[in-house]
Structure 1
Amino acid sequence: MAQELAICTRGLTKQFERHIAVNNVDLEIQMGEVYGLIGPNGAGKTTLIRMLAMAEEPTTGEIYINGVRVAGYSDHFLSEDKSNSTLKRRLGYLPDDYPLYDELTVWDYLDYFARLYRLREPRRTQRLHEVLELIQLGNKRFSQISTLSRGMKQRLSLARTIIHEPILLLLDEPVSGLDPIARMQFREIIKALQEAGMTILISSHVLSDLAELCTSVGIMELGFLVESTSLQQLYQRLSRQQIFLSTLGNLEALVSEIKNHPFVEEWEVIRNKNSVRVNFTGSQADSAELLRSLVGSGIPLTDFHCTQEDLETIFLKLGHKQAS
């Protein structure tokens, strides 16, 4: 099974003195996925990513990257282990606090890392042009890094992470502190990398970004991986359907019509919008029947649309379950 996966861990645990940061995690990520890792601060996300990136040694457990087992201390983890060295060349790791060299130009910075990864000419120059085009910084290639905006610096950090064409990308809070436009630009780059066949694990507190990008998600709490599933299955299992209704008429008349409907679980009146939000357990056909019956009853509706609870709502709901 591990041979078919981009990432596979078995019983992965990391303990710092008395604190267990990552606790017996079995993680499976298919090749080509964008996997979102979410959880509160201190849940163990960064420690897990650092172990996958071979920047942190597990206390116990095993890691497989594309079916190849990552060697540990007992296997000379700190030596120039050929297996680990080969794997590292196939990884791209962007920590949340990676420093940039402000005195360098964009081109010199990327060229420096391309040389570290032993890219030879003419491929090295070709690759620099490719990543600069991808991150939309071609016009800034001769600018000093100190003159770049925060969003540009973060895109440059991503370019450094992918300069050697890794097949697996590990991103720890890459959009932290970015404004909405910079986040949108970063999302577009991630989508392009996925379309190119890269497997991507990304942790973030911006759940709306993950909901747009990810095929699967994992939720961590206190070191445990409490959920790991496709985004579609998570929505099907835990996201309630909601219907928003607005009326030109009397709100009480609208509530009177919907409150005894068999698929209306609960409702919330939003008076400043003359609207009602309903948690609805029925199918699309059932919601169409509700609409038909309201119109037939003479309710002057101005809005009737169905939606589902978003990833943030699901995460908060799961957090309450864990706490209780």
Structure 2
Amino acid sequence: MAKELAIRTCGLIKQFDRQVVVNDVDLEVETGEVYGLIGPNGAGKTTLIRMLAAAEEPTTGEIYINGDRLSSDQSNSTLKRRIGYLPDDFPLYDDLTVWDYLDYFARLYHLRSPRRTQRLREVLEMVQLTSKRNSMIANLSRGMKQRLGLARTIIHEPILLLLDEPVSGLDPIARMQFREIIKVLQEAGMTILISSHVLSDLAELCTSVGIMELGYLVESASLKELYQRFSRQQIYLSTLSDIDLLKAELKKHSLVAKWEVISPQRVQIDFTGDGQDSAEFLRSLVAAGIPLTEFHRTQEDLETIFLKLGHQQAS
């Protein structure tokens, strides 16, 4: 059965004067996904996100949010209320307290008491800022300000969250705190599209990834599929026995693409199977009586895949 789509775009193009910034993008994001959008500066990520948030009007093409067409006029204000958008330059008012800032935006979304007060408490707890509710925004750390921006973005309980470079400039601890909040939001059923240059964060968070180059969406797939197609696996083996016995055993396995002896009793293998296959491979070596002292499996990360695809596009 086909899954519901939280986002679907058809032939989406955005042109400024003669420059095409987003070029014929057909994007599909399933409901409940965390979808990572990656690409170099100038690839069109921010412009695409702004169009999805109805902050920018497409030159041509269509956008559907949960099956309903999104337009830039006021005809579907209810649909726009279901979207939360956190740009990379979101506004903060340093002379307000955390509570007053969130209360201001809650009122803009017409949240009424007592629900408004309840919602403010909920989001402050979610972003771990309850203890800072009476603090002036000017006195918050950068990480706290970023979490406050996220709280403002989800105050009206959107079903789709669009985050443009939300961890930019944050230290490792602040990034980790932000990742944990995103996981909580996904578990609550929210669909999240997030762009970032910190690919290790996306690899930990995302279910699917889209790669943009020069305005084109050059790749869009589940993270699992990307790893299967583009990520080379390597296995490092060490043995107490004669290395020739191990080499003779390796020749019997079709998933061993090639190997290299890197020390008298250690071998590096290019392996084409998945995790289950590597477990079977290990079992067969043990059954063959090979006395192993090391079996270490590694896989190329998302950053390596991104660079690899970038070179393919350039060549």
TM-score, normalisation: structure 1: 0.86
In structure 2, C-alpha distance between the alignment counterparts of 1:52 and 1:276, rounded to whole Å = 49
The letter of the residue matching 1:313 is T
Match of 1:311 among 291, 302, 306: 302
Residues 35 and 208 in structure 2, CA contact (< 8 A), matched pair in contact too: yes
In structure 2, C-alpha distance between the alignment counterparts of 1:258 and 1:203, rounded to whole Å = 47
Question: Map of 1:77-92 to 2, 5 A cutoff?
Answer: 77=73, 81-83=74-76, 85-92=77-84
Question: Gapped runs of 5+ residues in structure 1?
Answer: none
Specify whether residues 248 and 47 from structure 1 end up closer, same or farther in structure 2 by C-alpha distance, changes over 3 A only: farther
Shift of 1:114: 0.6
In structure 2, C-alpha distance between the alignment counterparts of 1:278 and 1:177, rounded to whole Å = 38
Do residues 137 (structure 1) and 129 (structure 2) align?
Answer: yes
Please give the secondary structure, in 2, of the residue aligned with 1:133: helix
Identity of aligned residues (%): 74
Shift of 1:221: 1.0
Question: Gapped runs of 5+ residues in structure 2?
Answer: none
In structure 1, C-alpha distance between the alignment counterparts of 2:155 and 2:50, rounded to whole Å = 20
In structure 1, C-alpha distance between the alignment counterparts of 2:249 and 2:18, rounded to whole Å = 53
The letter of the residue matching 1:158 is L
In structure 1, C-alpha distance between the alignment counterparts of 2:57 and 2:249, rounded to whole Å = 57
Residues 258 and 269 in structure 2, CA contact (< 8 A), matched pair in contact too: yes
- Which deviates further from its counterpart, 3-12 or 19-28? 3-12
Shift of 1:18: 1.9
Specify whether residues 213 and 292 from structure 1 end up closer, same or farther in structure 2 by C-alpha distance, changes over 3 A only: same
Please name the residue that 1:44 is paired with.
Answer: 44
Q: Aligned-residue CA RMSD in angstroms?
A: 2.8
Please name the residue that 1:160 is paired with.
Answer: 152
Residues 249 and 285 in structure 2, CA contact (< 8 A), matched pair in contact too: no
State the number of aligned residues: 309
Match of 2:271 among 266, 280, 291: 280
Please name the residue that 2:205 is paired with.
Answer: 213
Specify whether residues 101 and 2 from structure 1 end up closer, same or farther in structure 2 by C-alpha distance, changes over 3 A only: farther
In structure 2, C-alpha distance between the alignment counterparts of 1:259 and 1:134, rounded to whole Å = 54
In structure 1, C-alpha distance between the alignment counterparts of 2:151 and 2:301, rounded to whole Å = 31
Shift of 1:303: 2.6
The letter of the residue matching 1:28 is E
Shift of 1:246: 5.2
Residues 3 and 67 in structure 1, CA contact (< 8 A), matched pair in contact too: no
Cα deviations by residue, 1:142-174 (Å, 9 ceiling, x for unpaired): 011111111111000000000011111000010
The letter of the residue matching 1:40 is P
In structure 1, C-alpha distance between the alignment counterparts of 2:171 and 2:248, rounded to whole Å = 41
Cα deviations by residue, 1:71-105 (Å, 9 ceiling, x for unpaired): 24xxxx3xxx131x222211100001112111111
Please give the secondary structure, in 2, of the residue aligned with 1:62: strand
Shift of 1:289: 5.8
Shift of 1:131: 0.4
Residues 94 and 157 in structure 1, CA contact (< 8 A), matched pair in contact too: yes
- Which deviates further from its counterpart, 261-270 or 45-54? 261-270
Please give the secondary structure, in 2, of the residue aligned with 1:165: coil
Residues 8 and 26 in structure 1, CA contact (< 8 A), matched pair in contact too: yes
Shift of 1:237: 2.0
Do residues 103 (structure 1) and 95 (structure 2) align?
Answer: yes
Please give the secondary structure, in 1, of the residue aligned with 2:64: strand
In structure 2, C-alpha distance between the alignment counterparts of 1:320 and 1:266, rounded to whole Å = 23
Residues 237 and 293 in structure 2, CA contact (< 8 A), matched pair in contact too: yes
Residues 258 and 264 in structure 1, CA contact (< 8 A), matched pair in contact too: no
In structure 2, C-alpha distance between the alignment counterparts of 1:121 and 1:148, rounded to whole Å = 27
Question: Map of 1:205-244 to 2, 5 A cutoff?
Answer: 205-244=197-236
In structure 2, C-alpha distance between the alignment counterparts of 1:189 and 1:111, rounded to whole Å = 21
